[in-house]
Amino acid sequence: MKESVIAILVLLPSVLLVGYFVYASIGWNVVVSLSNWEGLQPSYSIVGFRRYADLLYDSVFWISLKNNLLLILLFVPSSILLGLFLAILLDVKVRAEGVFRTVYLLPFALSFVIIASLWAWMYDPEVGVLNILLENVGLGFLKSGWVTDSSIAMYCVILALTWQFSGYTMLVFLAGLRSIPESQVMAAEVDGAYGFSLYRRIMIPQLKSSVLAVFVILMVFALKGFDFIYILTGGGPGYSTFVLPLEMFRETFSMTHFAYGAAIATVLFVIVMLIVVPYLYMSSRRREE
């Protein structure tokens, strides 16, 4: 009994803080989304699901949702594949492995604001290093406006994000590869598995848990990423790089449509839960087994 009381007293402050700042805030956001709060003066008169119905006719909302789906379809798999490729390169015991590992991981170690500012400078149509490099190597015909061109701006964002997150995925996969017992690798080599065949048949299939964890984290970022895109493009040109968090920020704080912004936040929360909850369920089942 004494140990139980001590455990409750130790955990109670954390439970209360999480309950208030997380779950109570989520509940308050849902209440706001059902109200008619417009402008700086709070109003909690319930109008039902009117704000959610308005989303169906909001073209910017659908553009933002499409860009989030584009991030999921392109950014997530490209980061996973590039990280796995880098992890395999380091796993073959290359010289100066520590140096390469640091170089690959450095982009993820820096803040999103710094990396976004760096890529904004690289993409600059006038003084950006990409256009200058293309001009110097005789490929000036490939020069572009990059993030100022609405047709390719979102793909430029995906490229920059992949570059930053590939170091993180590399580190997770490298840890997974190094955790495979050496005896399994030696037995596979005795059976004639070498090089790519060794990784394809023996080692990569054992990275399922690492792939799942990386997949969920990248998916969640693809849905809720805000600061990187806000610094790199500001959502422009036009609405070509808008994502749901950016649209929520604009509606809530720039246009003071608090109820409408809360509705967007609730939709985003539901989408994230549809990804996270199955992952938590599968993880708990795996631990039980």
Q: Which two tokens stand for residue 158?
A: 């995906």
Q: What is the pLDDT of residues 222-251, one digit of tens each?
A: 988 888 999 999 998 999 999 999 999 999
Q: What span, in angstroms and rounded, lies between the C-alpha atoms of 235 and 111?
A: 19
Mean pLDDT, the chain, rounded, equals: 88
Q: How many CB atoms lie within 10 A of CB 278?
A: 11
pLDDT-based confidence at residue 288 (cuts at 50, 70, 90): low
For residue 141, what pLDDT is reported?
A: 86
pLDDT at 96: 73
Looking at beta carbons, which pairs linking 60-69 to residues 24 or more positions away fall under 8 Å? 60/239, 60/242, 60/247, 61/244, 61/247, 61/264, 63/239, 63/240, 63/242, 64/239, 64/242, 64/243, 64/244, 64/246, 64/247, 65/244, 67/154, 67/241, 67/242, 67/243, 68/222, 68/223, 68/243, 68/244
Q: Do the beta carbons of residue 233 and residue 241 sit within 8 Å?
A: yes
Look at residue 289 in the predicted model and tell me its pLDDT: 63
Question: Which domains can be identified in the chain, with CATH numbers?
Answer: 57-288 (1.10.3720.10)
pLDDT grade for 78, boundaries at 50, 70 and 90: very high
pLDDT at 189 over 80: no
Q: Give the mean pLDDT of 196-222.
A: 86
Give the pLDDT band (50/70/90) at residue 205. Answer: confident
CB 224 within 8 A of CB 272: yes
Residue 75: both structure tokens together: 């950014």
- Residue 220 exposed, middle or buried by CB count within 10 Å (0-12, 13-18, 19+): middle
